Chain A
């Protein structure tokens, strides 16, 4: 009952709802998707109760439909995120995010001796291990594992 009420309050006519974002990664997701600089109407909820995650965050963006390349960027910080595509108040499509094979300009290389940490260089990683989210730097060739991932 309360869930329905929440949906009504926040319902959007057209756009995208990004659900199941880890509560402490909400602002990272906003920043990765550049939602802080676009003119669209955005509502978000932080620290909401979730059966699966304990606490979660949700973002609703009006009149915005993400391309796969764009939305998959958040997979590193919100691997369980679910997308609901809304048209005329109805969910017309549900999508999950997948970690892309190449990760460009999002993650910092954790190797302090990597050239990318000394000159203004756009970082590039190849997905080395999908299950454990390990990224291989295309420059220093070192592996950055999930616990060391820092978003630029």
Chain B
């Protein structure tokens, strides 16, 4: 993986994904390793993102690297009209690695073509967010002991949610069964269902939670956003159907874990937070170890 950019989850093979997950476990066991001593990592956030940026910067600091960069486009030359190409070319002369978040889709792939150093995509619009996927996989592996043959439930906005799309692609290496639970307006797009059918992976679509959640090993919750609905009445009709409450978990499997990419609004009621099956805050913590693993392997220090 040395010197390889990570733009899309499909850039990494199954073996590379497994290698990152193993490495993340090593870093969790021993989080302060000065492997990036003397390295400079550029953190270019063309739009703000608290969790992703802080977890990357924590990961860099724990590895003993130095961070340069900006936290939103208004403090970069973008406001003066500089193109992404020029910003990338310039920064790639300063840093050993670039971590980039940008509101436009495809920006990370384009930057990786312009840059002399590897690019890690920290989110390009609604397109890809591969480090989120790797931390999701790490969380699944850590809590289930395996990635193979699991029942993965995806709930909420399956149409626009990039995290569920990337997770679906990555999990497809491990023979899962998918359950998609969403309103009609926000169903899993056809292209992903074609992809699953081609790979011979089973999936089921449901409009609501029901006793089927008793089958779940992983419940991956996402936010149903009001602005996704053309008709606000439709939103009002469905909004409560995708809220997870503690009493709904009573007959679920012991190994079930509830994941959420965060930020959560109201799709997981706060009464779930104290349930041992709630895992979303630990999941966010796992992001630091997953990102340490990704950066260490791309920079070839591990």
Query: A interface vs B, CB < 8 Å?
Result: 109, 111, 113-116, 118-121, 137-143
User: Nearest Cβ distance between residue A38 and chain B, in whole angstroms?
Assistant: 31
* Chain-A contact segment, one of B53-61, B122-130, B254-262: B122-130
A141 with B191: CB separation less than 8 A: no
B125 with A113: CB separation less than 8 A: yes
In-complex Cβ contact of B104 among A115, A120, A138, A141 (8 A): A115
B83 with A119: CB separation less than 8 A: yes
CA distance A11 to B128 in the complex (A): 54
B104 with A118: CB separation less than 8 A: yes
Query: B interface vs A, CB < 8 Å?
Result: 8, 83-85, 102-107, 109-110, 124-128, 191
7 nearest interchain CB pairs?
A139-B106, A140-B105, A140-B106, A115-B106, A115-B107, A115-B104, A139-B109
A114 with B128: CB separation less than 8 A: no
In-complex Cβ contact of A139 among B85, B103, B110, B126 (8 A): B110
In the complex, chain B residues whose CB is within 8 Å of the CB of A143: 191
In the complex, chain B residues whose CB is within 8 Å of the CB of A119: 83-85, 110
Chain B residue nearest in CB terms to A143: B191
A140 with B84: CB separation less than 8 A: no
User: Nearest Cβ distance between residue B209 and chain A, in whole angstroms?
Assistant: 30
Chain B residue nearest in CB terms to A117: B104
A142 with B110: CB separation less than 8 A: no
User: Nearest Cβ distance between residue B232 and chain A, in whole angstroms?
Assistant: 23
In the complex, chain A residues whose CB is within 8 Å of the CB of B125: 113, 140
User: Nearest Cβ distance between residue B129 and chain A, in whole angstroms?
Assistant: 12
User: Nearest Cβ distance between residue A44 and chain B, in whole angstroms?
Assistant: 37
B106 with A114: CB separation less than 8 A: yes
B104 with A113: CB separation less than 8 A: yes
A115 with B83: CB separation less than 8 A: no
In the complex, chain A residues whose CB is within 8 Å of the CB of B124: 115, 140
Residues A121 and B110 in contact in the complex (CB < 8 Å), given A115-B84, A140-B105: yes
